[in-house]
Amino acid sequence: MEERGIFASINDVLAVNAKQVDRLGGAPQASSAAGDVDDTRDEAGVAQISGAAGSTSRAKVMTRYAARHNGPVGRARSGTDDRSITSGSDFLQLDIGDAPAGGRSQWLAERFRQAIADRRLPVGTRLPPSRVLAAELGVSRGVVTEAYRRLSEAGHIDGNRRSGTIVVSAPAAPPPARPTEPATPPTALFAGPPGVDVFDSLRVAPARIDLSPGLPDLAAFPRAAWLRAERTVLNTLAPADFGYGDPRGAPALRAAVAGWLARNRGIQADPDDVLIVAGVSQALSLLAQVLRDDGIASVAVEDPGSLGVRQHLRNWRLDTTPIPVDAQGLRVDDLRASGARAVVLTPAHQFPTGVVLDGDRRRQLARWADAGGLIIEDDYDAEHRYDRPPVPALRSWLPDHVCYTGSVSKLLAPAIRVGWVLAPARYRDALVNAKRNADLGNAALPQLVLAQMITSGDLERQLRLLRRRHVRRRDAMIAAIGAHLPTATVHGAAAGLHLMITFDSAVDDAALASAALANGVKVQPLSWHSQRAGRPGLVLGYAASSPADIEAGIAVIGQVLRRGVTPARARTPRALADQPAVADQPQALADQPQALADQPQALADQPQALADQPRARTGRPRRNSRAAPTPTR
C-alpha cells in the first residue's frame, strides 16, 4: 500500500507537470516532428511510469522525473560547467527569452516560418534535431517537436529518420524585390572601349555557343585522376601540414614544377627558384608592385596583345607602352626606341596573332636585356602545339633577364588557381615578400594534389589527351571558317587554344561581335586587344566547344556578316594590318644560323619551323592562307 501511495503521488505530480508544459506550448509525450532523427526512447514519459514496478522501475521514474525539472528532456545536468552556458541557439540566433509566456511553440514555429519565407532557410535546408535545439534553448523537447509539427502540417518541412527534417516548401508570396537598376543588354559590352569588368560581364552574358578564347576543354577535366591524387595526399598528410605553410608554396609542388619545366619547356631551375601563385594574373599583380618599387613606371606590351594583361598592369598604375607585332614577333627595334625598361611577351605563341618570336628577334631581345631590360615571359599555352616543333622558353637561355610565368589554367582548369613565377635573383625576395603580404601563400591541399598528379605522370597523360581533342576542334573551326567566312584570313593555327581571323573589308569587329552575341554566339573582337588601329578581326576559342557547336557558331557569324554590320570606324593599317597568315610565313624561323650558339640545340634544329607546317590533319587544304603586303609602321 505504501509503495502504491508513492507511485500515486508521483503520477499526480507528473500529471500536473504535463499540464504545465502543455500550457507553455509543448507536450511531454513521445511525439516528434516528421523526420526527427533523434532517438525518442527516453520520451515514453507517463506511459512507462504508470506501469513501473520494482526498484528498477522506481529508479527510472525518479531519473525521468528529475530530468523533467532539471534540464533538457531526458538529461540530467552533468556538472557546474553546463550552468555557465547561456541558453540560446546560433541557429537563426534564437533566444527563448523573446518568446511570450505560454506560447513558446507558436513563437518558435513563427520564427521558422519567417526564415523560410525570406529565404534564410531555402528549400533543402536541414533543420537541427529537436533534441539538440531544445538543449540549446534550454526548453523541453516537446516545445520544439510541437513547433516542427505545426510546420509539417503547413507543408513547410518534412523528413524521416535517415535524412533529418528538411525544408520542402516556402510560402507562396516571395519576399519584396529589391529595387534594381534597369538591366543592361549584353550587347552593350561592345558599344565603347572595354571596361575593367568587361570579361566578367561577357562571361555571364547568356549565349548558346561560347567561342571566347582562353579556355581548355573543361569537360575533359581529369576528375578521377584528381580524386585519386587527393586521396593519396590525404592518406599521407601529417597534421602539421594543415597549418600555415611556406609563402613560396608547398615544397613538393615547387619541386614538381621545376621538373615539369625542365622536361617540357627546357628550363633548368632549382625548386627554390619557384614561387607558387594564384595564376598568371596574380603573378602580374605581384610583379607590378615590385617593379613600381624599383622605379619602373611603364611596361612595354605587345600590340595587338592581351587586354587582360594590360588591365592588370594598369590596375597597379603602370603605363602600358604598345610595341608592334609582325610576322616575326615583337619589333625589338621599336621596343628599344620606346625607352621601356621592362616588356611582357608571349614568345612561344603570341596572343592573339599566334606568331612565334623568331631566332633573329630573340638575339636582338637578348642584347636589349643585356643593356638592363627585364623580360616578363607569359608562357600561357605553349604546351598546346600541333603542327610545329617545340619552341624553348626564353627563360631557358636568359635566366638572369627573364621573369617566367605559367599556370595550369590551360592544362586543367582556371578554377584551380595555381601558377608559378621564376624571377631573376634581384627580384626574387621582393616577390616572395609581396606574395606573403597578399595572402600568406596558396591553399596547401590543391598544391599537394597537383604535385601528386605531376609526379605520377597524370598531368602528362592529360596533356596528350587534350592535344588530340583540341586538334580535332581546331580543324573543325578552320573548315567552318572556309565554308562560312571565305574572305577571312586565319592566323595562329599551329598551336594554342584559339584562332585569330582578320578581314580585308572595312568591318567593325566590335559591331560584328555584338551582332553575333545577339544571335547567341560569344566571341571577342580583335580591336579589344589592340591599342593602335589595325586590321579588323575576331579572336575565336575552339578548345571548350564541340565540333558541332563550332560549326554552328561560325555559321551564325557568317550569316551576320552577310547581312551586314555597322561600317567600321576609320582605321589606319598599322601594326598587324597586313601581316601574312602564320601558315604562309616564309622562312619564319628558318634563317637562324647557329641560333643561340651557346645553347645546346635550343632553336637551331627548327628547320623552317613554321614555313612547312603540315596542313590541318583532316587532310583538307588550307583555304585562307593568302599572303598580304608587308606591314607598315
**What is the reported pLDDT for 378?**
96
3-state secondary structure 428-485: HHHHHHHHHHHHCCCCHHHHHHHHHHHHHCHHHHHHHHHHHHHHHHHHHHHHHHHHHC
Across the chain, mean pLDDT equals: 80
- Whole-angstrom Cα distance, residue 530 to residue 313? 15
pLDDT bucket at 154, cuts 50 / 70 / 90: confident
* pLDDT mean over 126-145: 92
What are the tens digits of pLDDT across the range 362-396? 999 999 999 999 999 999 988 898 988 888 999 99
275/101: higher pLDDT: 275
- Whole-angstrom Cα distance, residue 135 to residue 287? 54
- Whole-angstrom Cα distance, residue 602 to residue 621? 31
What are the tens digits of pLDDT across the range 217-255? 999 999 999 999 999 999 999 999 999 999 999 999 999
What are the tens digits of pLDDT across the range 566-594? 544 433 333 333 333 333 333 333 333 33
Instruction: Report in angstroms the alpha-carbon separations of 332 from 22, 346, 468.
Output: 88, 14, 35
- Contact between residue 548 and residue 208 where contact means Cβ atoms under 8 Å apart: no
**What is the reported pLDDT for 3?**
46
Count how many residues are written for the chain. 633
What are the tens digits of pLDDT across the range 590-609? 333 333 334 334 333 433 33
Give the start-to-end residue ranges of the domains of the chain: 2-167, 221-457
- Whole-angstrom Cα distance, residue 137 to residue 133? 6
User: Has residue 535 got a pLDDT over 50?
Assistant: yes
The CATH fold assigned to 221-457 is Aspartate Aminotransferase; domain 2 (3.40.640)
The CATH number of 2-167, from 1.10.10.10, 3.40.50.300, 1.10.275.30, 2.40.160.10, is 1.10.10.10
**What is the reported pLDDT for 174?**
55
User: Has residue 333 got a pLDDT over 90?
Assistant: yes
- Contact between residue 361 and residue 376 where contact means Cβ atoms under 8 Å apart: no
395/4: higher pLDDT: 395
**What is the reported pLDDT for 605?**
40
Task: Report percent pLDDT > 90 for the chain.
Answer: 62
Nearest to 325 by CA among 529, 526, 501, 575: 575
